[in-house]
Structures are given as C-alpha cells and as structure tokens.
Chains A and B, each alone.
Chain A
Amino acid sequence: MSESGYTLNEIMTVAAARLLRNGQVCFVGIGLPSAVANLARLSHAPELVLIYESGTIGAKPDVLPLSIGDGELAETADAVVAVPEIFRYWLQAGRVDIGFLGAAQIDRHANINTTVIGPYDRPKTRLPGAGGAPEIAAAAGEVFIILRQSKRTFVDQLDFITSAGHLTGGDSRARSGARGRGPQVIVTDLGILRPDPESKELVMTSLHPGVTADQARAATGWKLRVADRPEVTEPPRPEELELLRALHARTARAHGAAPAEG
C-alpha cells in the first residue's frame, strides 16, 4: 500500500474494470480478468454478461472463482452449456464483444505467449498452454489484456505466439483472417497501453499516478513508445476500492484465504 491509500494491483484492476460497459458480453479469463469483470459487474455495469469457458453464460458469482469451472459460476449463471457449445455457438459465431485475457508475456504488437519460455521442443519453462485464448483473441469483437509490466512480461521477442494480437503490426492482423479487431487496451500495474492506429505498436497512453515514463520504459523489454502527454489514470474512488476489497475478502473467506490477485 502506498501513501496514496491503494496498491498498484488495485488501481490496475479498477482502471481495467472501468473499460467495461453495461450490457456488453465479456468472455472472461481466470485470475485478474475475472476480478476485473466482476468488479465492473458489481459497480457500474450490472448487466455485463460474463461468459467463462467452462460453459457458464451470465455468471454472477458472489466470490471470485478459484478455477474457471467453480460451482459458484454454474449456480449463478443464466445458462450452463457444454464446452463445445460455448466455443462454437457463442464465441466463434461472433456473440462476444470483449475477450478479457491475461498473459505470461506480450510483445510490442500485443501478441500473447502462454506456452513456453525457451525453444518449444526444449523449453526452459513449460507454461500451461493455450486454453481458450487463441480463438478468444481471434473471434471476440475486441480484446483487453491485463498483466503486470516488467522486462520478463513485456518482451522484445516472444519465444512463442500462442494467441494473435496485431501480429507484425500494420494491416497484418486484418490480412490474417482474424474476425475481431484484436487487442485494443492493455492495462498494467504502471498504466494503460493502446495500439497506434497505423503501426499497431503499443503506446503507453496513460500512467498511473506517481508512475513516470522512465519507470514504464525500464519495465519494458523493447524501446517503449510513450504518448507525448500521457494521461494520468484517475485514482480509484473510495466506493470502487470498497467494492474490490469486499470482493477479495469474501473470496478469501470462501476459498480459505486464497491470495488476492488485484
């Protein structure tokens, strides 16, 4: 906790939640994206539709799920469908507005690696793999990504592209056959990045209060572009913090003190 009264994880989660609008359909990844989407649902976007890849449509969990298939999601959903249906009828058919993803690593064009660190056939670190992300990244109307920013996560060259962002930049994504517009916002613990309209390279357009451009550059594995006059992220309002902390407290009680992620 800084003297500002909130943590960087908290401003990251709150800033990301504000991006979601009431009535949108959001395909939610587990972990940080789930915290973000539920905070949005509990605050300004009560009609936000949360879809989890386990087949729960319109889930309204009271506590954050520990896994993508917790019973809490099924019990609070409008509908629970089989896994093939969620990917084919709901995602592939174009019924999802926002795909909200986490990532182990991203590059300057917001391509995502969740597969391996090191060579694929001799990995230094074997990561969990693709899950639903390749098709979420391709088919959702747009993609939001949330992850902590460091030289380990913001890398110059990905060892593996699991899920496509803007590929090699420019119009390469448009030519790839991906239907959705791809990553439009990346929220980190330092600020917010958006792709340049032409080159599709990520530009730091907003810094959280107290974070400097040099700090963001130092936490990035490529020569980071920072907007000429980056915005300063609005700090979390007391009511936002209260909702987020209550959500994490309920979650910790339910799961036996699961670690708060944001």
Chain B
Amino acid sequence: MAAIMSLREAIAENVRDGDVVAMEGFTHLIPFAAGHEVIRQGRRNLTLVRMTPDIIYDQMIGMGLANRLVFSWGGNPGVGSLHRFRDAVENGYPAPLAVEEHSHADMAARYQAGASGLPFAVLRGYVGSDLPKWNDRIRTVSCPFTGEVLAATPAINPDVAVIHAQQADKRGNVLIWGIVGIQKEAVLAARRAVVTVEEVVERFDATPNACILPHWAVSAVAVVPGGAHPSYTHGYYDRDNAFCKAWDGISRDRRKFADWMEKHVLGTRDFAGFRRSIGLAEAGAAS
C-alpha cells in the first residue's frame, strides 16, 4: 500500500545500509532527487544495480556509498565517461568498487525473472563474448526439449527499487509514459519500492493498457517536481544537456567533485534547495 510521504521519510524508511538498491531509468525518468536524498542520509555499503549507470550513480560512487555495482553500460549519455566510476574501478578511489557486469538483454531478463518470482533468467546471450569468463553468475542451461544451450543468470531481487514517474493519484497508483524502460520490472522484482512523481492528480488521463503500477505494489510515493533533472520527464521537461556536459568537468577532478557535492547536495536540505543552489527555477511552477 503506497503511502504518500516526503522523500526524506520515504528514503529513511526504505533504503538501509547494506541494501541492494536498483535506481532505474533508461536515460528517461532517472531518479536524481531520490539519489541525492540517499547521499544526504549517508547510506553505506550499498550494492547498486542499474542497466545504465549515469550521473546519479557517478555521484553515489564518488561519495563512497557503494561497494558493488551490477550493470550493463556505464556512461554519461551523449557526453562520455563517468569519471568517478572510472576512478573507483581503475584506482580504487574513494573505495574499491566490485563490478558485476552483464549485457542489457541479460539485465532486462534478470529483472523480468525477479518480477516473475523465478530463480533465474534464460536468454540466447553472450555468444562468443568474454563476459562469462569474468562473471561466474553467467552460466548455461540446456533446453530440456531441444537441447539448445542458453545463457542462464540469477534473477535480480533488489531490497529496494527507486524510480521516478510522471504522476500518482491520491491512492498512490503510479502512471508512467514515454520510454518506460525497465522500471515496472524493477519495482515488481524488489522487496520495497519508492516512487517519486512530478505531481499527484485527481485521476489519470490514460488508456486502459497504460503502464500503471497499482498502489499496493509500491511502498512509498513522494512528490518531487523536477525530480528527474538533469534527465527528462516526458510531457514535463527536457533533458538539461548543458548540465550533463558540465558534469564531465565537475567529475573529472576529485577535489572539484567533492566541493560540488558538499555545496549543492550535502549543503542543501532537499531537491528544491539543490535546484535553487544550481540556479534552476522552481520546478512545477506555471511557465
């Protein structure tokens, strides 16, 4: 049953030290506000799961919150490398980061298995790739009917999934549209789920087969206008490409990164404060 609460409460109740945390989004609807709140609350020893780790995971890794990353593609989309992620993997800074690496098709299948209550995923994957040599969780299984050898990998069942969506209604049902990515599967695979939304509406203007997460499949909903910035929310605002490019310079240097996080994330009370500190207008205001 989804309770509508503040983001601070939602993270405090649902994200714990040592958790396996999946903050999902496929270049769209990245839960930045929620990631910042996890950083503010100083969570430690997290295993971070994400198909496409980007700036928010770069920030969390750079702040030393995670000791393990499960992923399939890590980068700053359209810009280049994630420098904090690379520093952790290449130099163990600020702490060593174990990586468990898969392909997109596999990660998607693993979330589906997790959401389906199955122990493992099966796919026609990794043919000729070196990835299975370095990841002993990528194994094979023979089809009992045809004998075909297929890749098998364990289901993902995070302790908590965190996503951003366009809308909730007053009961806490959640509506997502546009590029829906892997968010539904991540929520249904997880033991707990936190959803930030742009707004709460009286009723959804959606077709019956729209992507809706029923309120009883979600633990907490928090209203955070602009909460996916600098990524975008379809129907609300575009990606802040200038910020994504600026991040390359901020994150390249350890000192500059630490100062920036101190000033803009640790030094602000919430996401609205963060937005003000980097000079953005109040989100959700009539434009």
Q: Which residues of A contact B (CB under 8 A)?
A: 30, 53-56, 65-71, 73-74, 80, 82-84, 87-88, 91-92, 111, 115, 120-121, 123-126, 128-135, 137-139, 160-165, 167, 173, 176-179, 255-256, 258
A132 touches B104 (CB 8 A): yes
In contact, A54 and B27 (Cβ under 8 angstroms): yes
Digitize B9-50: 1 where CB-to-A-CB distance is under 8 Å, 0 elsewhere: 000000000000000001110000000000000000000000
B254 lies within 8 A of chain A by Cβ: no
Q: Let me know if B127 and A134 touch, CB within 8 A.
A: yes
- Cβ-based interface call for B181 (8 A): yes
Looking at B158-166, B217-225, B238-246, B261-269, the stretch in contact with chain A turns out to be: B238-246
Are B241 and A74 touching (Cβ within 8 A)?
no
Contacts known (A82-B182, A133-B103); A167 close to B75, Cβ less than 8 A: no
A123: min CB distance to chain B, Å? 6
Contact of B101 among A54, A129, A135, A173 (CB under 8 A): A129
Q: Which residue in A123, A124, A167 is a CB contact (below 8 Å) of B128?
A: A167
Contact A178 B127 (CB under 8 A): yes
B241→A258 contact, CB < 8 A = yes
| CB–CB B128/A126 < 8 A | no
Q: Which residues of A contact B148 (CB under 8 A)?
A: 177
A258 & B78 in contact (Cβ 8 Å cutoff): yes
Closest Cβ–Cβ distance, residue A108 to chain B (whole Å): 15
Which of A73, A121, A124, A129 counts the most chain B CB atoms within 10 A? A129
Are A176 and B127 neighbours in the complex by a CB distance under 8 Å? yes
Residue among B90, B112, B128, B185 having the largest count of chain A Cβ atoms under 10 Å: B128
CA gap between A143 and B128 in the complex, in Å:
15
Residue of B nearest to A138 (CB): B127
Whether the Cβ atoms of A176 and B103 lie closer than 8 Å is no
Chain B residues proximal to chain A, CB less than 8 Å:
26-28, 51-52, 71-75, 77-78, 81, 85-86, 89-90, 101-105, 108-109, 111-112, 123-131, 134, 148-149, 178-182, 184-185, 211, 232, 234, 238-239, 241-242
Distance of A262 from chain B, by nearest CB (Å):
14
Nearest B residue to A162, CB-CB:
B129
28 residue pairs A–B, Cβ–Cβ below 8 Å: A54-B28, A66-B78, A67-B27, A67-B239, A68-B26, A68-B77, A69-B28, A73-B179, A74-B28, A82-B182, A82-B185, A83-B104, A84-B108, A84-B112, A92-B124, A115-B131, A120-B134, A125-B90, A131-B103, A133-B103, A134-B127, A134-B131, A135-B103, A135-B123, A164-B128, A177-B124, A177-B148, A256-B241
Known A55-B26, A83-B182, A135-B123; further 17 A-B contacts with Cβ < 8 A:
A30-B78, A54-B181, A55-B180, A68-B26, A71-B232, A74-B28, A87-B109, A125-B90, A126-B81, A129-B101, A132-B103, A134-B126, A134-B127, A138-B127, A177-B148, A256-B241, A256-B242
- Residues of A contacting B179 with CB < 8 Å? 54-56, 69, 71, 73-74, 80
Q: How far is the CA of A130 from the CA of B74 in the complex (A)?
A: 9
How far, in whole Å, are A258 and B211 apart by their CA atoms in the complex?
Answer: 32
For the complex, give the distance between the alpha carbons of A70 and B124 in Å.
28
Smallest beta-carbon distance A100→chain B, Å: 16
Closest Cβ–Cβ distance, residue A75 to chain B (whole Å): 8
Find out whether the CB atom of B89 lies under 8 angstroms from the CB atom of A130: no
Q: Could you tell me if A92 and B123 are in contact, using CB atoms closer than 8 angstroms?
A: yes
